[in-house]
């Protein structure tokens, strides 16, 4: 708006979005905006939202003046942004409004909005005829932003209601799951572009290439963001939309992958690695993890060793019809890399994994399965307790008849639970991997016309239990969930959202509670007692429900309207169970979920004997506060300097977070999300120091 029309916008106008994240108020304010407008919350099924004009307080405490347009939509109970200007509409907007004691001027958005036709001559004439009509509110034509400015002035000094937390829409809960393929492609694209921005920044800074691919990345981001529009990403569009979307996201992935390949090539070319591998870590903490690489024929029988000559533990595995090497790497620097080389040394590792069709054991767990492939027991050896509730079964694949009253792709109605059927037709159970690093049990079920293949994986040195799943799905109006009834007593569960997390009740005490029978989250949800908890992680799902002690993740929806082919065919996803001591903070659930979603990257060394300008191990940036994540590294939008963005994720204040960089700084400033409005920040040649508050987002521009 500023670039094209020389106007600065201060109003976020989102009339028709299916609920609003508690992270949004902070994002609004740090984007240079002041006000927020919607109508959609009025669509809620069970409870009328108590305010139409209020201050919306977000996750970090940021507050935004918010106003709901209260124009009635004919005979329906909800408000509309496609209003008419008939006398009954003008009268209705005042009748519906709930803050009459605070404000007597309202906003009516009129026109054929969904059809793109805008206001008609009749609507304008009707509005003008009601400028001073007895018994009616006075109608004036005007603009939205000046309305909000007047509203802010009118409310000054008054006791304005405050709503703290998310604006949950009690409707359209199916949009967390519908059209699973596009949701997966979107998640993978977001991660890829995070990696591409960081890798391109690293290559530019370390090699001096001055060739940051800004135009390519911007082009890819625009494609990703266009396809986050509703009704695309929510899964509520017609079939041709998804043919286009998946093709476009694939094109964006090609761009992002090309950036990663070129940038990593540039880095590796400047390292003296005659025969070896470089492992890249795009997360902002040091990692110990597994990498899986194809075995070059000339390296068969060999393994990798660290820079100090210590061989790494490895395991030969089959993948895609070929031999791969699974290697346990350690100490991969934050936002950096570590090189290693091939060796003939043999490492004999003790195998502590036991894998059979009915029993899996590691140093962490003893897992028992019944003849249907369901888990009968998960005993936590570290803490001496059974994870599943007494007499219950875990990883139960549940199907439900899913026929909502309206809006098939949009909705899941509360009565869906009345018709549940478990998937129990286990046709195969095969041990695929037996350690020492990883053990895998492959299970195959049939259900209706569909086939489900799942690989349960356990590890020698990490407590995650992975369920790597392929589904060939040919059911319609059938909802698929995975259920884990755990031996945990808690009245609240914690769910990750953008830039933080929030709690929601696990009980149905009130209508507000049971209206949240399906909720959204990003990479994890957690149910914890004071000293123990269980997290359910995922790599591309968004729909959860946790009631009492039963944790469920929604996997497939398969609606038939507006797309009769929705969710038909192949699905690929992974979800994981992560038991832990303490709550989600003690269990470091956010980091573990990020590691599931963002694997380490590898690149073969290929310039034998080349002169090196780069070290064989490097961290671009290291954060000294474990509760702060460095989420984004990229070139500034205008090409001047570099942008680093952090967020606090454990609800803790810190007066002095320290971040050290691998290159000497010459300048640093704090800025908003638009990379403007510079404020001073404490810095020296080695890095920056700044305070941070619970769930706060911090953005800086730096120059080396």
Return the active site residues: 16
Distance CA 199, CA 197 (A): 6
CA-angle at 283, arms to 326 and 631, nearest 5°: 155
Distance CA 694, CA 171 (A): 30
Distance CA 388, CA 117 (A): 57
Distance CA 509, CA 29 (A): 34
Contact 634, 657 (CB under 8 A): no
DSSP 459-485: ESS---EEEEEEEEE--SSEEEEEEEE
Q: Which of 333, 345, 383, 354 is nearest to 661 (CA)?
A: 333
What SS3 state is found at 671? strand
Distance CA 43, CA 52 (A): 13
Contact 555, 476 (CB under 8 A): no
Sheet holding 11-13, edge to edge: 11-13, 35-38, 63-68, 53-57, 162-164
Contact 383, 532 (CB under 8 A): yes
Tokens 């502590």 sit on residue: 352
Distance CA 188, CA 293 (A): 20
What phi, psi does 235 have (nearest 5°)? 90, 25
Q: Which of 113, 101, 195 is nearest to 154 (CA)?
A: 101
Distance CA 191, CA 197 (A): 10
**Burial label, 5 (beta-carbon count in 10 A; 0-12, 13-18, 19+):** exposed
> Given its phi and psi angles, is residue 558 left (phi above 0), alpha (psi -120 to 50 degrees) or beta?
left
**Burial label, 575 (beta-carbon count in 10 A; 0-12, 13-18, 19+):** buried
Distance CA 344, CA 347 (A): 10
Distance CA 323, CA 433 (A): 13
What SS3 state is found at 41? helix
Contact 463, 579 (CB under 8 A): yes
Q: Which of 440, 243, 221 is nearest to 324 (CA)?
A: 440
Tokens of 526: 């957690």
Tell how strand 687-692 and strand 654-661 pair up. antiparallel
User: What are the residues facing 690 on neighbouring strands?
Assistant: 657
End-to-end CA distance of the chain: 32
Q: Which of 702, 701, 659, 699 is nearest to 29 (CA)?
A: 699
DSSP 480-531: EEEEEEBS---SEEEEEETTEEEEEESS-SSHHHHTTSSEE-SSEEEEE-SS
Tokens of 540: 């591309």
Contact 404, 323 (CB under 8 A): no
């Amino acid at each position: 708006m500023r670039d094209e029309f020389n106007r600065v916008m201060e109003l976020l106008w989102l009339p028709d979005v299916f609920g609003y994240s508690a992270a949004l108020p902070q994002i609004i304010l740090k984007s240079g905006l002041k006000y927020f407008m919607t109508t959609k919350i009025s669509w809620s099924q069970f409870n009328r939202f108590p305010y139409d004009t209020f201050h919306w307080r977000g996750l970090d405490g940021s507050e935004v003046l918010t106003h709901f347009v209260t124009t009635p939509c004919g005979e329906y109970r909800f408000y509309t942004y496609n209003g008419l200007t008939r006398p009954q509409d003008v009268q209705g907007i005042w009748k519906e409004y709930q803050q009459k004691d605070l404000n007597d001027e309202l906003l009516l958005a009129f026109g054929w909005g969904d059809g793109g036709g805008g206001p008609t001559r009749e609507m304008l004439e009707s509005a003008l005829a009601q400028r001073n009509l007895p018994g009616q509110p006075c109608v004036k034509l005007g603009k939205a932003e000046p309305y909000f400015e007047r509203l802010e002035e009118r409310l000054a000094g008054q006791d304005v209601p405050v709503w703290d937390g998310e604006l949950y829409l009690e409707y359209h809960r199916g949009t967390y799951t519908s059209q699973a393929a596009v949701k997966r492609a979107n998640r993978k694209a977001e991660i890829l572009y995070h990696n591409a921005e960081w890798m391109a920044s690293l290559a530019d800074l370390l090699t001096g290439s001055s060739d940051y691919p800004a135009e390519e990345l911007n082009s890819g981001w625009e494609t990703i963001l266009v396809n986050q529009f509703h009704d695309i990403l929510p899964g509520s569009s017609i079939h041709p939309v998804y043919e286009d979307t998946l093709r476009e996201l694939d094109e964006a992935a090609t761009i992002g992958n090309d950036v990663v390949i070129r940038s990593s090539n540039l880095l590796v070319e400047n390292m003296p690695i005659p025969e070896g591998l470089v492992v890249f870590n795009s997360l902002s903490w040091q990692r110990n993890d597994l990498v899986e690489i194809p075995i070059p024929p000339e390296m068969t029988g060999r393994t990798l060793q660290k820079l100090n000559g210590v061989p790494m533990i490895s395991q030969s595995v089959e993948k895609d019809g070929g031999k791969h090497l699974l290697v346990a790497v350690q100490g991969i620097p934050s936002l950096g890399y570590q090189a290693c080389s091939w060796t003939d040394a043999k490492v004999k590792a003790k195998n502590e994994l036991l894998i059979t069709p009915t029993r899996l054991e590691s140093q962490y767990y003893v897992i028992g399965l019944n003849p249907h492939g369901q888990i009968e027991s998960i005993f936590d050896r570290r803490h001496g307790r059974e994870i599943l509730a007494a007499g219950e079964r875990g990883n139960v694949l549940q199907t439900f008849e899913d026929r909502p009253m309206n809006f098939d792709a949009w909705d899941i109605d509360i009565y869906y639970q009345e018709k549940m059927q478990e998937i129990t037709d286990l046709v195969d159970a095969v041990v695929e991997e037996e350690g020492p690093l990883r053990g895998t049990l492959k299970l195959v079920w049939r259900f209706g016309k569909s086939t489900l293949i799942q690989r349960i994986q356990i590890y020698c040195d990490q407590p995650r239990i992975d369920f790597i799943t392929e589904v060939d799905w040919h059911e319609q109006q059938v909802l698929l969930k995975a259920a884990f009834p755990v031996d945990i007593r808690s009245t609240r569960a914690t769910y990750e959202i953008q830039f933080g997390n929030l709690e929601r009740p696990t009980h149905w005490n009130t209508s507000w509670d049971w209206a949240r029978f399906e909720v959204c989250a990003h990479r994890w949800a957690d149910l914890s007692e004071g000293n123990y908890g269980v997290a359910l992680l995922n790599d591309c799902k968004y729909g959860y429900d946790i009631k009492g002690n039963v944790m469920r993740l929604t996997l497939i929806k398969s609606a038939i309207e507006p797309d009769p082919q929705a969710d038909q065919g192949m699905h690929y996803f992974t979800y994981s169970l992560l038991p832990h001591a303490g709550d989600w903070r003690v269990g470091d659930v956010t980091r573990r979920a990020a590691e599931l979603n963002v694997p380490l990257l590898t690149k073969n060394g290929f310039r034998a004997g080349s002169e090196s300008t780069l070290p064989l191990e490097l961290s671009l940036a290291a954060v000294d506060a474990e509760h702060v994540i460095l989420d984004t590294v990229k070139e500034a939008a205008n090409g001047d300097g570099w942008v680093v963005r952090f967020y606090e994720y454990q609800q803790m204040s810190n007066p002095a977070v320290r971040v050290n960089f691998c290159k000497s700084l010459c300048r640093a400033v704090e800025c908003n999300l638009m990379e403007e409005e510079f404020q001073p920040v404490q810095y020296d040649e080695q890095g920056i120091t700044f305070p941070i508050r619970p769930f706060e987002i911090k953005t800086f521009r730096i120059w080396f």
